[in-house]
Structures are given as structure tokens and as C-alpha cells.
Structure 1
Amino acid sequence: MEERLESVLEEYKQSLTDVSQLIRTSKHNTSDQGTREVFARISKAADEIQQLLEDGVNITNLLTPLQSGSHLIRDILSNIKADRPLSGLKRSGLKRHASRLEGSLSDIRKKETLRLSTLKTNRNLHDNPIAIIKTSADLGECLEPLLQEEENGDLKYTLKCPTAGLFECKFTSLMFKMETAGEVEYHSVPWADKLENYDCEPAGPLYDISCFPGTPVQIHLPHCEVISDGKLGHLRVAHITGDGLEIIKPKEITESHVVIDVTGLSIFGLITSFIHYLLGRNIRAHVLLFLQTRSNFRTQELQVLLVSSNSDTKKVKKQRDKDIYIERNPNCIINTCRHYSLFTDPPGLIVTPNSAQYVECSKNISTAFTVLCSTEKELKLILKDVKDQTKELWKSVVNIEDAAAAAGSSQTNSENRTKYMIGDQHFIDRHRIRLIESITTVEPILDRLLDRNMINHENFTLIRAKSTSTQRMRELFDVGSIRSTTKGKDCLYDVLMEVEPLIMEELKSTP
């Protein structure tokens, strides 16, 4: 045990020396990757020190080296100027880690030993421990939510849960355990600086959740961790309200979800410890492909994105709705701190950049690689680790010719649909009030919408039961397929052009 302690101390001191050297030699060219690697070694040694502590070793003699670590981390922050910002290793993260380290030092000074910290750690680990349940999936009924585009272009989901039970969103994999029937509304929001004062980082999207009626009693947040690694104890849930941020320990963790009990709804998101963020985690990821066409489709650019499997991919696709999404098997496993390269067959195609890294979900999801395609009709894409190119992490064959044809068709459809739009607003939304007030005969409209499967018999009967045409039109506009989907609004536009051409032409001439 003492030999192990001595070895850890030597490793820790050497890492501190390397940090000092890094500061002296890199004042004008600070390497984010170099800083990351050195600091990762310090963090690894700190973890081993914590393990020794749990084993009952008295390590009062660590006071001096830990003080040196705190001072040197502060030095890193002061020597890296604003014109040379850290990209991967966050300045705010270093500040939080230094504060945490100083908190431990304060305990040592007060108690002359780290025993108090040991008891606190053991209590956190063993009182109400997290149950790790290795199941292939949570057993919930999968439902497709209604979609509504918000003013800022984001998507809002509405999941209609018909009874009590466990229900899963088809698009986000969020799950809700309900005591009664109810509707749950949710959408992803930016993390921004919500974790600024906490020693943790995002591990999934942040969702703003509300419900009426029938509040969920449990929320199952999808995670992307590789459960075979056996390292899921670092996952927690951030619960954000007007009163601040609360960190919740999960009730259990399944192979796919983190489960928490809830008594009220607001904002929830998965987080991981800052140490795990620095050292990197193996995660399940998705490779998403989007085709951009230019110059009458003579030049194509294939945009390749690397995102975690629990990302809000529906939102990502919505943000790139002008591109053609190419559906392929997206699944792979990557490490959050490693760099990857994309190879093509045939070789020699222009791929930029040479290497890329997974982008944390707290940031805007940007393109990892761009492949310039000119005359290629088909190509194979292969993702490899920069440091180990013998192993293929993901590969797929993409038919560029078919995708470009789809792009051409999509553009034609888009041009045809411009008649429905006024700027960024749909014609139906723009003139909703005028249409409700002007249309006096609603039944022919309902008949056509029913024939085209845009409303069901229940909607048809409910709308016809209203006593006035104004009430009927208002009820029609509130039907989910009309209120929340572009397809529904397009269909209603076509039907109104058939049934009420004079009213529609008058509205077209209205500024």
C-alpha cells in the first residue's frame, strides 16, 4: 500500500512539473491538446489518491503537492491570454476544478487528514446506491409526438399518453411514466452557462418539460454511455428551476436510460463529472450524412456529422432542412476526447478537415467532415481513429447519384411550395383569423381533408358538432395535423383553393 502511495505521489509530482514546463515554453503558442493531456494525468493521479483514501491510507503528506496542483492550475488560467483561448479544455472548467481542489485542501487543514472526505465519499457511494440494470431496452410503448415549430425555428414535441403507463417519444427517446392519461410538452434548450459554477459538464440535451393534465411520476432520460464499460456512476441529472440548479442522483440506470422520480416539471438534462469530461468517455454515437448541391447539381458536398446517440437528431435535421439527409446505419462507438479521420473509396477525394472530434451537445452541432464529390456516383466512407487506423469504427456506402436526384426532386417540390409561404410564415398561419371569419361553409373542406387522411372521423364529428361556421373553422385550425405540421397546412391550402378560390385570391392580394 505504501509503495502504491509513493508511486502515485511521484506520478502526481511529475505531472505538476510538466504543467510548469508547459507554461514556461508555451507562452506564445499554448497547446490545448498538450494542456489536456497533462491535466488528464493530474486528474488520473487525483483519482488514485481518492481510491487510496477510501482504502484507509493516511495521506496527510499530500497537503504540499495538492497545494502545488491548485497553484499551477491557477497559473495555467492566468498565462493563457484572451487572444489564445482554450477550445476543448474549458477555462471555466479549470476554475471549477481548482475551486474543488481548494475545498479538499481546506478539509485537510482543518482535520489534518482526509478521513472526513473519505467518509463523505463512502456515504455518497453506499447510501441509496444507483441500481445499474442491464436491460436491452426500457419497456415503454413508443409513440410519435405531434410537432410544432416555434418562432425561433426550434421544434416542440407533444406526446399524448392515452392511459397510465410508460411511454417513449419516437424522436427523442425520452420516456415518461404516467399515473393517468395526459399530454407532455417538451423541447430542447441551450445549456449555455447553466453549469458555470458546478464541477460537471453536459452528457445529453437539456429539455424543458411541461405537462397537463396527468403529471409524470418518472422521467427516463436517454444516455449514450457504453454500459459494458461499467462506468455509469458519474451520471447525474441537472434539474433547473427558477430557484436554481439541483443535482439529482438517479434512481436507476438501464442500458439506455437514466431514471429519476419527479414531483414537478421544469428543465432536466444529463450531466457528467468534470473529471470524466476531461479524461474522455466511450459513447454510442451517430454518423449523420447530409448532401449539399451547388451549380445545378454539378458539384455536391457531403456533410458528415458526429453526434451522441442521445442528441435531439430531429432538431439537427430541422436545422439542416435545406440539405438532403441520407439515411444510413449511423451507429458507432467513439471516445469523446479522441480525434478521428474520414477516409473515402475511391481514395483521393478532398476531405476537410484532416481530423475532427466529437462535438459536445452543449454546443451547436457543426459539421465534422466535408467530402467534395464531383463525378463520383458512389463512394464508401470509413471512420478511423487518428492514432489507430487499423480499426474501422464505422463505414457506409453512399450512392451520390441517387441522393443528388433526390435533391433535385426536393428542390422542385420546394419551388412549387413557395406559393404557400409568405416570408418565413405559412399562408395558413398568416391568414388564420381572416379565414376563420370569412368561410361560411365548412363541410366540403372537412370532406376533402378526411379523404386525404389529414383529419380522422373523430375530428370530423367533433368539428361538425359546433354550432357556427366560425366555431367549426376555429376547431379545424386546432387539429394537431393542421396546427403543428407543414404537410397539414399545405393540404389545407390546396383544399381551400378548390373550395373557396375567391376568398383565397383576395387574401393573396392582401399585403
Structure 2
Amino acid sequence: MSNINEPQYYILHETVENFTLCEREKIPSCLSHSCPSLSQEPPADISNFPRSPSLPTMKLQGSFKEFTPDFTDDEGDGIYWFRCSSPGLYQCRESGLVFDMRGEGDVSYRIVPWDRRLLSQHGKKPAGPLFDISCQQQSVAQLHLPHCEIRSTGGCHFLSVAHMHDEGIDFIRPVKITETHVVINITGFSPFGNIKDEDSPPDLVQALVLLFHKHLDPESDHLINVLMLPKNIVLEKVLRFRKKLDENEVFLETPPHCKLQPKQLYTLSTCPGEELVLVQPTEGEFDPESYDNYFPTFQVVYKEMRSRIKLFLRDSSSSSVWERWVCFSTARVRRSYGPTRQNLSPKELLEEIRSSFIDRISESVLKKLQDKMLEKKVLNDSEREDVEAGRTKRDKARVLVDTVRNKGDAASSEMIRSLCVLDPYLSGDLKLM
């Protein structure tokens, strides 16, 4: 007879017609609770859920160590990975995931599609990307999944985590929910992702408005594709998705942050107005579950190339929720009509973009690129010091690109690949991707 105070754990097994509820052997509290426990009324503050006593107290966000993951896209699989050498909290710059490592380990992860039918059968819906995570050493103690809820509205109360596996689906009760992440204890691996109750209130969420400029012939229409997406999407995946749809499309780096209401209709307007610019459709709905497909909500069409245009996103009450000046570089657009670089070697490609790279790379990206070249052993410590000895950002960029390209195609290819990950906007503008 089990103690009445001990929690029971269940796993749901999918059958042809429905799901059967089977009792599971008692396991540590880092694994899932049953569906019935999640359907109970949420507490006033979900962040107060009890944590596993076997794990240390949560570390402060300031102790996160950021890393840029390695990335491979063999056969379009898109796998991120990093090697951890010591315990600590490690945050991925690309995905926002945080790994609480109890020791060294090799962690790999990729974004996989949700089974929305399976979620819907349990009254759940996606609230973030679904990450398929693996660590052979089993050294990940906690996983922090980024969310886009606004905590003050109460939306966090309806968050939990789905753990998908061959036997079905587990629902994991969070250890803690911070302003930015849902924290869970884990011992096993496979896909994890944030979910919400389907009947949760449609509260405002953190969102992004992303702009992509379509390169067309100067005599034809010009296009801006406007995407409205939840904030916790993985931007790099969006950029790769759009690039595969149209390699001539350029991401316009404009401050994207705003707050949007799920399933609410929004309108987009411009300055100059409709007599010079067409916006289609006239209104569009914000879908907070856009984690697999990244298609535009609006398209802005105009005839004459212009230096800038202002966009206004308004809600049903005509209140502006996002407005930005979008500035264009006519030189950049003209440059995209030039010959392709498919026949250039990596070294020749660095030589061709050398001046633009020196002029346009930002200080922060330059520093990250140096770190990556040192990590990849493209640079040694002495060469890194030579780069840092430059008096200005341009001097440092000049030494870096010349040092790498003089090492040949392999080193040049590594630098190009790293630059595409660290600054996809500049890389797209330089036609590196």
C-alpha cells in the first residue's frame, strides 16, 4: 500500500482509438506527473512548485555561460551541438535553451515538428519549439525552455512541458517558471517542448515582427514579406526556412519586439500611404503557435525603389502595437543583381568580400568570430593577440580576414560558416548564404 502523500506517476500509451492510462513504477520527481494532476486548478504562482530535493538550488541567470553551438545541416536535419567540460549553466545563443550540467558531456539538439493531433487529444497546444535533445553522458540535470508569456498577465499558470517518446507522451510539471524560461528536471532524453492548455485565456504574449525584402528587377515591383511570430521561435531556423523558399530574399534587421494578442486580427499600414504602396491582405491574424512554418502574414508591394518606408502594425482598436522605419540600401539591392559566387573557392570568396567585411562587421560579432576561430583552431593564441592589437575595429577586422584567408580554403570556409551563424543579416547581404 503506497503512502498517500507519495505522488503517483503515469505514462499515456496511444492506441488506435484512444489512450489508456497505465500506472508507472515510482520514479524520481524529475519525470512527469499524470494528466489528471495537470488538470487541477493552478496555484497562484506556478513558480512555487516544489523542486526535487536531490538537486541544488537554482542558479541565478547572471551565472549563465553563453555559447554559440556548432551546427550541421546534413540532409536538412539541422543539428546543434556543444561540448561541455565542467558543471554549470550554459545558454545557447541560437535557441535560448539553457542546460544545467552536472558534469562534462556532449549535448546535441534539433527542432522537430509537433504532433498537434496528439496534443489536441489531451487539450494541449504548442507554446514553443519542440527540441529533440540527446546527451550520451546523461549529464544534463535541468533544462530551461524559453517561453514567450508575460508573467504579469497570468499566462505562465497554464504552461507545462511535453516529453514525447516512443511510448506516447508525458506531461512534466515545471520546477520553476522565470520571466523567460520554463525549468524542468530531466533524467532521460528525446523531444521536449513547452505546451499550454487549449482553453487558456488568450493573453498578450511577447512576439516578433520580422521583415524580409524580396530582390526583384528594378523595373518590377519590390516586396517586403512581414511575419508575425512568437518571441521564442529560433530565429536561425526561420532564416534558413526563408532562404530555402527564396535565396534572393534578404532579412531586414529591424527591432522586432512587440506584444501581440493570440488569434486577434491586426492591420498593417505604411507611410507613404496606399496610393504609392499596396499592403495585402488588408488584415491578418496572429498565430501564437507558428513553430513549424514561417510564412508571411502581410506583403508590402511598391514600384519605385526608396531609401526608407515606415510600417505601422495596429490592433482592432487602431492602436499602434509596433511601428518602425525600415531603411534600405540601394547599393545593397543593386549588388544582389551581380554575378553569382558559386564558382569561387572559400579563399577567393573572402578576398572578394574583404572590404565590405572590414567596413560593416560589428564590434560584438567581430569578437565572437575571433572566439569561434580560436575554438576551431583556425587561429592560435599568438594570432588572436595580433588581431586584438589593432587600434580600431577596422584594423582588427583587417588582420582577422587576412590571417584566415592566408591559411587557405579550409580555414576560409570555417570563417564563412561561422560568420553565417553569428550574423545571418550581414552574411545574406554579402551573399555568403
Q: TM-score, normalised by structure 2?
A: 0.65
Q: Which of residues 165, 169, 172 in structure 2 aligns to 1:241?
A: 165
Using the TM superposition, give the Cα deviation of residue 394 of structure 1 relative to its aligned residue in structure 2, in angstroms.
0.6
CA distance in 1, matches of 2:203, 2:237: 24
- In the alignment, structure 1 residue 146 sits paired with structure 2 residue 64: no
CA distance in 2, matches of 1:242, 1:362: 22
Q: Which of residues 220, 224, 229 in structure 2 aligns to 1:307?
A: 229
Note closer, same or farther for the CA distance 1:121–1:379 as it changes in structure 2 (3 Å cut).
Answer: closer
Note closer, same or farther for the CA distance 1:183–1:195 as it changes in structure 2 (3 Å cut).
Answer: same
- 1:485-509 per-position Cα deviation (integer Å, ceiling 9, x unaligned): 3879xxxxxxxxxxxxxxxxxxxxx
- 1:395-421 per-position Cα deviation (integer Å, ceiling 9, x unaligned): 110123x1x5324434547x1134569
Residue type matched to 1:223 in 2?
H
Q: Which of residues 161, 166, 172 in structure 1 aligns to 2:89?
A: 166
CA distance in 2, matches of 1:212, 1:120: 31
CA distance in 2, matches of 1:411, 1:214: 50
Note closer, same or farther for the CA distance 1:454–1:419 as it changes in structure 2 (3 Å cut).
Answer: farther
Note closer, same or farther for the CA distance 1:185–1:120 as it changes in structure 2 (3 Å cut).
Answer: closer
Note closer, same or farther for the CA distance 1:388–1:122 as it changes in structure 2 (3 Å cut).
Answer: closer
Structure 2 match to 1:357: 285
Residue type matched to 1:328 in 2?
T
Structure 1 match to 2:342: 417
Q: Is the 8 A contact 1:148 1:485 kept in 2?
A: no
- 1:253-307 per-position Cα deviation (integer Å, ceiling 9, x unaligned): 000000000001110011100102xx42311001101000112575320111001
CA distance in 2, matches of 1:303, 1:478: 36
CA distance in 2, matches of 1:411, 1:364: 28
Note closer, same or farther for the CA distance 1:418–1:308 as it changes in structure 2 (3 Å cut).
Answer: farther
Deviation larger for 195-204 or 358-367? 358-367
Rg larger in structure: 1
CA distance in 1, matches of 2:414, 2:309: 40
CA distance in 2, matches of 1:480, 1:188: 28
Structure 1 match to 2:270: 344
Using the TM superposition, give the Cα deviation of residue 231 of structure 1 relative to its aligned residue in structure 2, in angstroms.
3.0
Q: Is the 8 A contact 2:45 2:157 kept in 1?
A: no
Structure 2 match to 1:388: 317
CA distance in 2, matches of 1:479, 1:315: 25
Percent identity for Structure 1 against Structure 2: 28
Note closer, same or farther for the CA distance 1:315–1:362 as it changes in structure 2 (3 Å cut).
Answer: closer
Q: Is the 8 A contact 2:241 2:294 kept in 1?
A: no
CA distance in 1, matches of 2:344, 2:72: 21
Structure 2 match to 1:195: 119
Note closer, same or farther for the CA distance 1:346–1:136 as it changes in structure 2 (3 Å cut).
Answer: farther
Structure 2 match to 1:397: 325
Superposition pairs of residues 462-473 of structure 1, within 5 angstroms: none
Using the TM superposition, give the Cα deviation of residue 313 of structure 1 relative to its aligned residue in structure 2, in angstroms.
1.3
CA distance in 1, matches of 2:67, 2:81: 10
Q: Which of residues 217, 233, 239 in structure 2 aligns to 1:317?
A: 239
Note closer, same or farther for the CA distance 1:356–1:126 as it changes in structure 2 (3 Å cut).
Answer: closer
Higher share of residues assigned strand: 2
Note closer, same or farther for the CA distance 1:151–1:313 as it changes in structure 2 (3 Å cut).
Answer: same
Using the TM superposition, give the Cα deviation of residue 150 of structure 1 relative to its aligned residue in structure 2, in angstroms.
2.8
Q: Does the residue aligned with 1:184 lie in a helix, a strand or coil?
A: strand
- In the alignment, structure 1 residue 367 sits paired with structure 2 residue 296: yes
Note closer, same or farther for the CA distance 1:228–1:418 as it changes in structure 2 (3 Å cut).
Answer: farther
CA distance in 2, matches of 1:136, 1:335: 30
Q: Is the 8 A contact 1:292 1:302 kept in 2?
A: yes
Superposition pairs of residues 117-266 of structure 1, within 5 angstroms: 125=42, 130-131=47-48, 139-152=63-76, 154-192=77-115, 193-213=117-137, 215-266=139-190
Q: Does the residue aligned with 1:233 lie in a helix, a strand or coil?
A: helix
Residue type matched to 1:179 in 2?
R
Q: Is the 8 A contact 1:160 1:182 kept in 2?
A: yes
Q: Is the 8 A contact 1:137 1:256 kept in 2?
A: no
- In the alignment, structure 1 residue 485 sits paired with structure 2 residue 417: yes
Residue type matched to 1:290 in 2?
F
Residue type matched to 1:310 in 2?
N
Deviation larger for 335-344 or 226-235? 226-235
CA distance in 2, matches of 1:149, 1:316: 14
Q: Does the residue aligned with 1:195 lie in a helix, a strand or coil?
A: helix
Using the TM superposition, give the Cα deviation of residue 384 of structure 1 relative to its aligned residue in structure 2, in angstroms.
0.4
Note closer, same or farther for the CA distance 1:343–1:146 as it changes in structure 2 (3 Å cut).
Answer: same
CA distance in 1, matches of 2:60, 2:260: 20
Note closer, same or farther for the CA distance 1:241–1:169 as it changes in structure 2 (3 Å cut).
Answer: same
Q: TM-score, normalised by structure 1?
A: 0.56
CA distance in 2, matches of 1:329, 1:285: 11
Structure 1 match to 2:216: 294
CA distance in 2, matches of 1:356, 1:120: 37
User: CA RMSD for the aligned pairs?
Assistant: 3.7
Q: Does the residue aligned with 1:361 lie in a helix, a strand or coil?
A: coil
Residue type matched to 1:160 in 2?
R
CA distance in 2, matches of 1:163, 1:205: 27
How many residues are treated as equivalent by the alignment? 318
